[in-house]
Structures are given as structure tokens and as C-alpha cells.
Structure 1
Amino acid sequence: MWRDEMRPGQTRFYRVPLDWGQQLGLSAELSSAQMTKTYGSASGGLTVSLYSPSRSPISDKDISYDGKQAGITMGKTPPVAYENRFADDRAVKPVAIAGWYYVAVTMGGKVAEFTEDATPVPLTLRLDVTGTPAKAPAYKGSLAAGGFGVDAEDRTAAKEGLTAPEAAAAAENRSVMRVVAGAGFGTGTLLLLVLGGWILLGRRGRGATAA
């Protein structure tokens, strides 16, 4: 479950990794808003859209919003499978590769006509990933090189709720730590000596300043 806030006219994007054989169920709920009129209603006040790793549309659904609590529940996607690309169903065909699936949640601009625009409306997004990850089909090339597929870092980023830039920064930090850790005992000793020198210089510096 993910909690956020929205204002009229805004669209927020979220992503979730799906591995081979997994399915995604999702729902979005807008809480009550601060009303500026006794009554108001906007057709398409809440819209939820789902996209594949290649940004192909899978499904979308919208409902009207009158300032009171309202929600949308989407049907589960089919299990991610290579053969889905040959399906005739537009909601099945795009679910043909493992990777990041994207969710767009939009609050209609007309909602501003009867609600307080300065006060954001709480949004609750629920994502339900089911299914045991299956073996990937044999590709000639690398899925990761093409920007697809799911790995341990993707799962970690999803569990921690990291954005794409945050996940990239975390991966870079882990890479640097692996390089330092793999450099060997001698380098570790050298680092300790250098750090010790910094501490010594720091102490001397403080002493000189105090004098």
C-alpha cells in the first residue's frame, strides 16, 4: 500500500516490477476533499491507467468524483508470459515481458470547480503482486541491456519505495562499496592509515586553533 496526495489536474506515476509468471492487481482510492460548493461532480474525476515495460497501454478505468471518497479496482493482469504477445486481447498482449510496469493515477482538472485546490486530497494506492517467479524464456540477447527484466535490485527498490533516480543512486553506492570491499586487505589498511592521519591532523588543527 502506498499513500500520497493529489490536486485537481495532477497525474502521478508509479512503477512495480513483475517477473515471469506474476500478476498485478491494483486499486486507487481518493479520500474526501474540502468542498467550496454545496454540490459538485466531475466525470472522469479519477482515472487509473496501467502500462507495460515498453509503455504500451494495458488497461484503464475512470469514475466520477464528487468530493466524497471514491475508488477504482482494476482486474488482475494475466501472468507475464512470452506467448501473450500473440494474443488478440489488448489487455493481454502487452503483458509479455518481465520488468517495470507503470501505473498512472489522474485527478480530473474539473474537480477544482467545487473543491479547495490548495488542500491536497489523500490518495491510497494498493498494489498486489501474486505468483511465483517463473523461469525466463531463452533470449539471444540480454533483457537487462534492453532495459527489461527483473533483478534483485529492482525488487529491493520496489520494497523500499524508491523512485527511479533514488534506485539508480542506491545501485551506484552499492557498486562503489563492492569495489572498496574487493580491493583487498592491503588497501583497507591504507585507508585506515589515511583516516588515522586525518584524525591526527584534525586534532592538531583544533589544538593550534585553541592556542
Structure 2
Amino acid sequence: MGRRTAWWRGIWRRTAWWRVAVVGAVLGAVAGVPGAPALAASPSPSASSSPSSATAPSYVFAAGAPSVKGTVSTGDAELLEPGRTYRSSLPSEGKVYYRLDLDSTSSVYVAATAVPPSDTPVTATEGVRVTVQDADGRFCSAPDTATIGAGRSPRPLTAWGARTLPSKRSLCRGAGTYYVAVERVLRTESVPGDWDLELAPVREPRLRQTGSTTGEAPESWDSATPSPPGGGAVPVRGGGGFGSATALEQGVWRDDVRPGQTLFYEVPVGWGQQVYATAEISSPEAGAGGVSGKGLVPGAVNLALYNPVRGLVDDTSISYSGSQRSGALPAVPPVGYDNRYAVSGRVSGMRFAGAYFLVVHLAARVGEEFGDGPLGLTLRVRVKGEPEGGPGYAGESEPAGLFQAGLGSSSGDGAAPGDESGGVSGSGHGSVGMKVAAFGGIGAGTLVLGVLGVWVVVGRRRAAGV
């Protein structure tokens, strides 16, 4: 037995380099699968460095977005194509116009995200307004306005306009040319200068079957707020814009946020499901910024919920005085197509299945009072109910897959072409990656065990003198 052990150890040592190469190659291949989980644990937010509020961009625009110029006249307005995201700029005075060429069956939504410079003084009431108009200058929907709010902190502001069909109104039903108008509002004390602008036009196809919905807003829904999820928090990094939002699901999530910073997350919500979210902000760490404040910052934290076309559903603000605080979004109804007929924005905004955005902003004034170091942010997210079948669209949205609720579905997923009627999809990019990684992991394990088996047999045969 001693001789066999010696032979085995000798073979094991001489083949060590080959074993390492094989195992490394296999595990490297698995780790390289798109969507595969990382082989190393992610560091906690407090363990890795974050850019300071002075160097971090106030908004991360969609990569590769083409530039488009807003014009002061509709006659020169440049075309926006649904499904594409654009960059532009918004002057301090007057409206700028963009053109839409629409059919007579689809609904179209245009969200405009205006980004003030991070070092620009702003007032609570100033903001951005968006309207969609027909060729005769008539509004297709009520103007939507987003304002800075009590925090008086420069932050991305998103407002949306729409031409929705079918409509009980006689206006804006036909095919033809329409215009998007974007303007700054109530800027009596602000500093002149352009704001950056991101435009995201979206097309929602008509329903496959007419009469498949009631055409009336829901009369009642469960408005009770369940208790937020408990348990340990999972470290996460929020994105810097809508296009780079970090995907979350039900659970408890831990991040860091600096004064003046805005973080973006997305949560898949299917037809018939309700989403709830609570944000908790920590007390500052000792020595985090060199300022020991005892004042109160009104509206220090803003937590907002946006729907898949970036329309605001509802938000809440949290004042901060240097100790931990929390705030919850008001309860919203289950996702339903007929919600669009409601008067309340909190109900009508919940009209699509898909990725809903949670956006958190920490006011820059918190840094002036309590130091510019990061504060701990805990998000508690709950998705209530089982996903139901949707109304059934007659075609694909633009961008594709927008109204499907699987993780990663905002980039398109594996649903049947032209079918966006389902609830939570398990065939998003993340799910596919996990499946491939699982099969890859099984294959890697089988290969490693096979190689080890060969080494054992060879060692024993050599030890026996065969």
C-alpha cells in the first residue's frame, strides 16, 4: 500500500500543471457564458471605492444614442423613431420640437429626461414639461410636468407625453405627423444654460382582439400595503440611468449613495402583480465627510417608481436629520391594461407589464450638512401576486420585448415574436445565461471527474507494474 501511495503521489505531482490547465480552461469557459453568475462573490458596497459626487456623472445616457436637435419651429422638427433612444439639449427659454410619424392603430409614448448640471443652483418648482400635439396644435394628452421638489437638488427629471389608442376623444386618432414639445418651466431664479436631454419614444401595438378589455378603469383594488421583506441584504450597485438600471427582484438590497447622486434599478412586474418598495437611508459614518451637522434637510431622499415607458407612477420624499430614516412608496394597483382609463396617475401609470424602474436620489444639500461621504441605502422590494395572462398584442412593441416582465426582458427576450401577452417570462437573457451556465457547470464537473478517474486508474496500474 505504501508503494502504491508513493506512485500515486508522484504521478499527481508530475501532472499538476495539466490538471490546473484543464480545470482552469473549463471553469473559464463556464464563467465566460453571457449571463453566467460570477465565480467570485461581489464585494459589499462599502468595501469598494465609489466615485465622489464631484466626479460621478449625474446621469448615464444610453450608449450609442444618436444626437437630435430640438427646433424652435415645428416646420424644421427632426424625426424621432419609436424604439430608439436619442440625446439632445434643452435651452433655458422656449419650447423645442421633435416630429413623430404615426399610424392610426398604435399608441406612442415619449419620455424626456432632462439633466441639469450637477453644480447648478435650482429651485423647488422649476422643471420640465412634455406634450404630444397633432398637426393642428391640439394636445393628445394632458401636459406632464416634473419638478425638482423640496430637496432643491439638481437631478434627472423625467416627464412623458402620449398619443394613446383606442381613445374616447375624437382628437389624435388618425395617421400622420405629430409633434413632441419639451420646455423648461418655472425657472424664475435658476441659472441660464442648457440642460442635457434624453428622449425615449416607444410604440405600443394595438390589441389582437377588440373587446378583450372592459375599457373602464377598475373601480376598486387592494390598497393595503404588506410588510416589507426581511432578512439579510444582498449587495448591489445601482445604475446611473434608465438604460443602465440594475435588475432587482423581490428581496432586500444594499447599496451606497452619495449626496447629489441618482441611482436606477428595475423590477419585473407581470400582468396582475403589484409592486411595493421601501427605501432606508443610514446615519453617516464617523469621519465620512468631515461635517457633523444637526440640521434638517427637507426632501433629502426621493424614491420614485416609473413604468416601462419611463412614465412616473408615484414617488415619496424623506427628510433627513442625520439619523436613519425610511420611506415607502404609496400602494399601487395590480398591473392591468384598463388602468390607463383612470384619472389618477398612480393608477393609470400601472398599465403595462414589464420592467418598472425604482429611482433614488440623495439631495446634494445632505453633503453640505452631514459630509459628502456615502450613506447606506437599503431597498426592500416586494412583488405581490402571481403573473396573469395579458390582453394580447397584435404585434411587437418598439423596442421589442418592452412589455414582457422577465428579468432582462427590457433588452428583448425569448418570447414568441409578436407575442407580448404573457406575464413574468423565464426566458430573458439572465435566465438563458443561467441555464447555459448550469449545463456548462454540469459538463465541467463531468469532465473534471472523468480526468481524475483516469489519473487514479493510471496511478494504480503503474503502481502494480502493469
TM-score > 0.5, shorter chain as reference:
yes
Of the three residues 24, 30, 55, the one matched with 2:281 is 30
Q: Which amino acid is the alignment partner of residue 269 of structure 2?
A: L
Q: Which amino acid is the alignment partner of residue 123 of structure 1?
A: L
Q: Which amino acid is the alignment partner of residue 394 of structure 2?
A: K
Query: Displacement of 1:173 after TM fit?
Result: 5.1
1:98 aligns with 2:353: yes
Q: How many angstroms apart in 1 are the aligned matches of 2:353 and 2:407?
A: 13
- Paired position in structure 2 for 1:45: 300
**Equivalent runs, 1:117-128 vs 2, <5 Å:** 117=372, 119-128=373-382
Whether the aligned pair in 1 keeps the contact of 2:258 and 2:362 (CA below 8 Å) is yes
Query: Displacement of 1:78 after TM fit?
Result: 0.4
Q: How many angstroms apart in 2 are the aligned matches of 1:124 and 1:80?
A: 25
Q: How many angstroms apart in 2 are the aligned matches of 1:40 and 1:152?
A: 41
Most deviating of 63-72 and 28-37: 28-37
Query: Displacement of 1:101 after TM fit?
Result: 0.1
Of the three residues 355, 365, 370, the one matched with 1:110 is 365
Q: Which amino acid is the alignment partner of residue 278 of structure 2?
A: S
Q: How many angstroms apart in 2 are the aligned matches of 1:111 and 1:38?
A: 9
Q: Which amino acid is the alignment partner of residue 31 of structure 1?
A: S
Q: Secondary structure at the match of 1:135?
A: coil
Structure label with greater radius of gyration: 2
Query: Displacement of 1:114 after TM fit?
Result: 1.8
- Paired position in structure 1 for 2:37: none
Q: Which amino acid is the alignment partner of residue 280 of structure 2?
A: E
Of the three residues 252, 261, 265, the one matched with 1:10 is 261
Whether the aligned pair in 1 keeps the contact of 2:297 and 2:319 (CA below 8 Å) is yes
Which structure exhibits the higher relative contact order, with contacts defined as CA atoms closer than 8 Å and separated by 6 or more residues?
1
C-alpha distance 151-103 of structure 1, shift in aligned 2 (>3 A): closer
C-alpha distance 16-152 of structure 1, shift in aligned 2 (>3 A): closer
Q: How many angstroms apart in 2 are the aligned matches of 1:58 and 1:24?
A: 11
1:64 aligns with 2:319: yes
**% of aligned pairs identical?**
38
Whether the aligned pair in 1 keeps the contact of 2:336 and 2:352 (CA below 8 Å) is yes
C-alpha distance 53-44 of structure 1, shift in aligned 2 (>3 A): same
Of the three residues 392, 396, 404, the one matched with 1:138 is 392
Of the three residues 306, 323, 334, the one matched with 1:79 is 334
Q: Secondary structure at the match of 2:366?
A: helix
Gaps of 5+ in 1: 155-166, 182-191, 193-211
Whether the aligned pair in 1 keeps the contact of 2:407 and 2:431 (CA below 8 Å) is no
Query: Displacement of 1:149 after TM fit?
Result: 1.3
Q: Secondary structure at the match of 2:319?
A: strand
**Equivalent runs, 1:170-185 vs 2, <5 Å:** 170=430
- Paired position in structure 1 for 2:6: none
String of CA shifts for 1:190-210, please: whole Å, max 9, x gaps.
xx9xxxxxxxxxxxxxxxxxx
Q: How many angstroms apart in 1 are the aligned matches of 2:350 and 2:338?
A: 9
Query: Where in structure 1 do 4 or more consecutive aligned residues deviate above 6 Å?
Result: none
Q: How many angstroms apart in 1 are the aligned matches of 2:342 and 2:261?
A: 33
- Paired position in structure 2 for 1:159: none
String of CA shifts for 1:129-155, please: whole Å, max 9, x gaps.
00111111121113582522123765x
TM-score, normalized by length of structure 1?
0.70
String of CA shifts for 1:95-118, please: whole Å, max 9, x gaps.
01100000111111000112221x
Q: How many angstroms apart in 1 are the aligned matches of 2:401 and 2:319?
A: 39
Whether the aligned pair in 1 keeps the contact of 2:281 and 2:375 (CA below 8 Å) is yes
C-alpha distance 151-36 of structure 1, shift in aligned 2 (>3 A): closer
| Coordinate RMSD, CA, aligned | 2.8
Q: Secondary structure at the match of 2:347?
A: coil
Q: How many angstroms apart in 2 are the aligned matches of 1:132 and 1:174?
A: 22
C-alpha distance 100-31 of structure 1, shift in aligned 2 (>3 A): same
